[in-house]
Every structure is written in structure tokens, then in C-alpha cells.
Amino acid sequence: MKIRVIGGGLAGCEAALTAAHLGCAVDLYEMRAMVDGQPRLTPAHQTTDFGELVCSNSLKSESPNTAPWLLKQEMRRGGSALLRFADETAVPAGHALAVDRVEFSRRIGEAIAAQPLIRVFREEVTRLDADFDGVTILATGPLTSDALSAEIERLTGSGRLAFYDSISPIVEADSIDMERVYMAARWDKGTADYINCPMDRAEFDTFLDALLAAEPAEIKEWEKADYFEGCLPIEVLARRGRDTLRFGPMKPVGLRDPRTGKTPWAVVQLRKENLRADSYNLVGFQNHLKFGAQAHVLRLIPGLENARFLRYGQIHRNTYICAPLLLDETLRLKPAPEGPDETLRLKSAPKGPEKTRRLNSALEGPEETLRLNSAPKGPDETLRLKPAPEGPEETRRLKSAPEGPEENSPGQAQRSPGIGGEQTPCALEGRREPSPILFAGQLSGVEGYTESIATGLLAGIYAAAIAHGEEPVPAPRASALGSLVHYIVHADPKHFQPANITFDLLEPLEEELRKKIRDKKERHRLVCERSLAAFDAWWNAMPKPL
């Protein structure tokens, strides 16, 4: 059975090389190409090279017993081709694995050219052919072309594809001044799980003035976008009027302060990031401000004067599916319910200049949208994935843990609306014995270079098993690879956001053991030891090529 891989980025190249190594014939489609002597690129890629690193050259920490290290160790043991090239092209970068990006891509290109089982097609895929009876791996990344995005929506049903990631800041719990805040749920509905930071009128005015004066992050030309009314940045809401935030994410109604018996002028709510409650996110506080500006403005919130930020707010382009609704543990698109049959054709786009990217989603979001004004020019400080300076490496980009409490936000969604919400029917409905489609990389709902390569590795392994007529065995939950997939397929679909690997995603130690081992480093070491053992057992049981 043939395998086609769509997207020659990190995940796609890893998947293609893995499947070919496991004896499968692979057709690899990549739309970046030289056309009439001119490079046809995406808005972020600068070359036509395979596996281009679009921004930093770091594959994160190599410090033993951190979560990014653990993931890389498993990938090395699992024979990841791209990680081998990363190791071979590493440049000195302290405790991180950083690579010479040109050499890294060159080695990927060489390996693909040298692999007789891989055929390369330099063309944009716009449709998925239902007649294709092989295995498809979709790995077209955060900048999936417009036509294919529309096709994926058609395939999965609208409301299951997001085009933006809007991220609220996260603070470490023990840096919150608990004397200045109170626990409560709005209208006392449910348990009092939220930390509420109350503001009087003067405090609110000071905060608002600082917010209005805060320096925005640069918005790249292709990121200038129509944001959705449901997840507007706080600075945009603030510009609409001095009271707008008090009717949005800082709404105080139903949040009487039990210490005074009065309702504050405004309230900032903090919600637990994980069951351990060692970090909290600022509900509805997505923003597009420079990190330094965020540190200043957010520390004006009562209780957060000395807050340590694990992550700052961001809003950026990112195309990803609602994996918890769509994928199974082997990254396969789940069968859809009965319905009308539809043909899914794989067609190449006509040759020619790249079309302007659709920055707005076709999702059924609120009707009105607001255009962000251009931000002043300046260094690209916050566009993507920069860690909060004070946070420990492996927790810098914490994402919501699946076990978060019920939504109690003051009316602000925290990611592109539509995903995980109401849907239109999908084109898979009623298809008899659909050929398998797997998702990998950023499009599947993971975040980051290493995580994209990791899901590419898994997709290659699973697709090869299917192509050989076997049922793929998912990576164990206890492993880092398994935990990453476990997160994307089991997260709450309504709050789903892409995730980096962190200890939050890994299987926690038993409560008794956690209590016994007080030292966090030792707990992490134990989790890593268990993960590697689980990975080895899975990997060793898998049939290998001769």
C-alpha cells in the first residue's frame, strides 16, 4: 500500500524518511518550489529546502531529566532521522540542542534524494482524492495553504480547524500574593476554584492607562488579521472605551469579595493550569504586547506585583485541527458518522504565483470582526515562541492541561472560536471504508520543532504498519511520545490549544510517591526513568526492517 505525505517540513520529512526506512513507497508533496526561476514560498519560509527551521535554531533543552530532553531521548532511541541530523549539525548552545539550520536542511534533502522509495512532487496539494487507496499523512504545518485548509475543513466539518493561537499569560502560583486576592466562582456557582484579583476604581484607572500606553509587539504583514470578537487582545478592548474591559474579561459582577462584602470595580480571574495548581492563567488576557510591556502592566494587578511569568500572552498564526474530536491514539482521523457520500480528490494547484493567504477563518464565529491597527515598527520581540525570561525551560510554554475546571470566564474565549464548538457536517460522513488519513506536526495540535518531528516519527511508524496490513500500536501513555499524543487526543475540545512537551503532559507519579519524594528534581528524574522504560518496552516489541 502506498503512502503519500503532504508537506515537506519537519513532520512531513520525518514521516517520509521513517516510512521509507520501514520499507514503504512514499510520495512526498511539497508546495515550496522554484517556479520560473523564482522561489514560491510560504509567508514564513525563506527557502525551498526540506525541513526549514522558520525561526530559532533551537530544539530546546538537553539538560537531563527535563521534558524536552526526555522527548528527544525517546526519539533518538526510536531512530528519528531528523534528530540524528540535528545531533550531527549541532552548534554550541549551552544546555540546548541548537543546529546549523542550513546544514540541517541540506542533510534532510540529501537523505530524501538518496532514499529510492521516496518520490518528491513539488506542488501544492489542494484536494484529497477519495479514490486513493493508500495512507495519507497530512503535515502541512501552521501555514497550511488556503486551498488545502478549505479541503481539511470540508473533510472534518467546519468548526474543527483553527487559524490562530491566542494565548493567555501564565504565572507561578507561589508568586501570587494571596493576601491581596480571594477565591470565588462567579455567582458562587460550583466550587471556588478561581483566584480573583480585585481592583478599586483608582487601581483600574492606573492599570488601564498603563495598558493603553504599552508597546505592542510587531505584527508581520501576513499576520495582520481580522481577529475574532470572541478572543480580542485586551489592549484592543481597552482602546474601545474605558469600561469595555469591565464588561469583558475584567467583569466583576457575581464576584463579591467575601472579605469586604462588596463587588470590586473590576476583577482579573486566574484559573488553574493543572491539578497540582502550581500555575495559573489569566483568564481572557490574551494580548499582543511586547513581553517587557506585559511584565510591567500585568504586575499592576493586585496580587501579581511580584508575579513570576511562566509564559506571556501571544496571538499568532497557527493552523491546527481540533485533535480531541478528530484523532485517535495513532494520529488517525476517526471514522465519521453516517451521512452523504462525497468524493475527496487529490488535485494539484495550477502553476502560478501563490495566492494571498486567507487569514480569516471560515469558522462559524461571531459575525463582527475587528481589524487590528498596524503596530509600530520594531524588533520582532514577541512574534513566536519566545520563553518568558524568568521561567524554567521545560515549563515556559505551558498549555492548558486537559483536566482544567469548567469554563467560568467572563465572556472571553481563549483561542480561535469555532474549534471544538458547533460544527457543520464533514465530508467523511457516510464514506465506506475510507482510506486512512493521519495528521502530524503543528497541524495535528502539537507545538514546536521537536514536537512536530516527534509526531512525524510516530505518523511514519503508524502509516507503515497500516501499509503493511497491520494494526498500529500506539506509543504508551507513560512515554513522552505517548503523552504528547495523549494530550492532543484527550484534551477538552472546547479549550483545546496546541502544546509543547512539559511535565504537565506526562503521566504523574502516584500521589503517595509524590508526597514521599519532596524534591522536584528527583520526581522528574523518576518520571523520566519510567517513561524511557515504557518507551523501550514498546519500541523493542515493534517489528523492525531487516
Ligand X SMILES: Cc1cc2nc3c(=O)[nH]c(=O)nc-3n(C[C@H](O)[C@H](O)[C@H](O)COP(=O)(O)OP(=O)(O)OC[C@H]3O[C@@H](n4cnc5c(N)ncnc54)[C@H](O)[C@@H]3O)c2cc1C
Q: Which residues bind ligand X (CB under 6 A)?
A: 6-12, 29-32, 42, 44-45, 54-56, 124-125, 139-145, 148, 317, 384-385, 441-443, 448-449, 452
Nearer to ligand X, 45 or 523 (CB): 45
- The residue among 165 and 507 lying less far from ligand X, judged by its C-beta, is 165
Q: How far is the CB of 401 from ligand X (least distance, A)?
A: 20
C-beta nearest to ligand X: residue: 9
Q: How many other CB atoms sit within 10 Å of the CB of residue 257? A: 16
Closest approach of ligand X to the CB of residue 422, in Å: 26
Task: Say if CB 336 and CB 426 are below 8 A apart.
Answer: yes
Cell numbers describing residue 266 = 473590576
CA–CA gap between residue 197 and residue 116 (Å, rounded): 61
Q: Minimum CB separation from ligand X for residue 4, in Å?
A: 11
Q: Is 263 exposed, middle or buried (0-12, 13-18, 19+ CB in 10 A)?
A: middle
Sign of CA dihedral 17, 18, 19, 25: positive
Nearer Cβ to ligand X (11/481): 11
Give the shortest CB-370-to-ligand X separation in angstroms: 22
| Residue from 31, 166, 140, 57 nearest 441 by CA | 140
Q: Distance from first CA to last CA of the chain, Å, rounded? A: 19
Cβ atoms within 10 Å, residue 51: 29
Convert 340-378 to b/e letters by CB count within 10 Å (16 or more is b): eebebebeebeeeebeebebebbbebeeeebebeebeee
CB 7, min distance to ligand X, A: 3
Strand ranges, E, within 262-393: 266-272, 279-282, 309-311, 314-321, 369-371
CB of 545 to ligand X, least distance (A): 24
User: Which residue type is seen at 432?
Assistant: R
The runs of H, that is alpha helices, within 257-315 are: 291-298
Min. distance of Cβ 395 from ligand X in angstroms? 15
To ligand X, the closest distance from the beta carbon of 331 in angstroms equals 12
| Least Å from the CB of residue 388 to ligand X | 15
Residue with smaller CB distance to ligand X, 223 or 507? 223
Q: Is 441 exposed, middle or buried (0-12, 13-18, 19+ CB in 10 A)?
A: buried
Q: Quick one: 54 or 112, whose CB is closer to ligand X?
A: 54
Nearer to ligand X by Cβ, of 409 and 444: the residue is: 444
Spatial separation of the C-alpha atoms in residues 544 and 546, rounded to whole Å = 6
Instruction: Using the minimum distance from each CB to ligand X, give the nearer residue, 42 or 435.
Output: 42
φ, ψ at 531 (rounded to 5°): -60, -45
Q: Closest CB to ligand X among 11 and 118?
A: 11
Nearer to ligand X, 125 or 499 (CB): 125
Q: Which is nearer to ligand X, 112 or 176 (CB)?
A: 112
Round to whole Å and give the CA distance between 129 and 343. 7
Burial class (CB in 10 A: 0-12, 13-18, 19+), 179: exposed
- What is the smallest separation between the CB atom of 76 and ligand X, expressed in angstroms? 18
Minimum Å gap between C-beta 144 and ligand X is 5
CA distance 300 to 288: 18
Strands (E), 229-308: 266-272, 279-282
What are all long-range contacts of 249-254, with beta carbons under 8 Å and residues at least 24 apart?
A: 249/283, 249/284, 249/285, 249/409, 249/410, 249/411, 249/412, 250/199, 250/204, 250/410, 251/410, 251/411, 252/198, 253/186, 254/186, 254/187, 254/188
Closest CA to 108 of 8, 200, 177, 187: 8
Name which of 185, 387, 204, 388 is nearest 271 in CA terms. 185
Least distance (Å) from ligand X to the CB of residue 10? 4
Between 356 and 540, whose beta carbon lies closer to ligand X?
356
285 vs 449, beta carbon nearer ligand X: 449
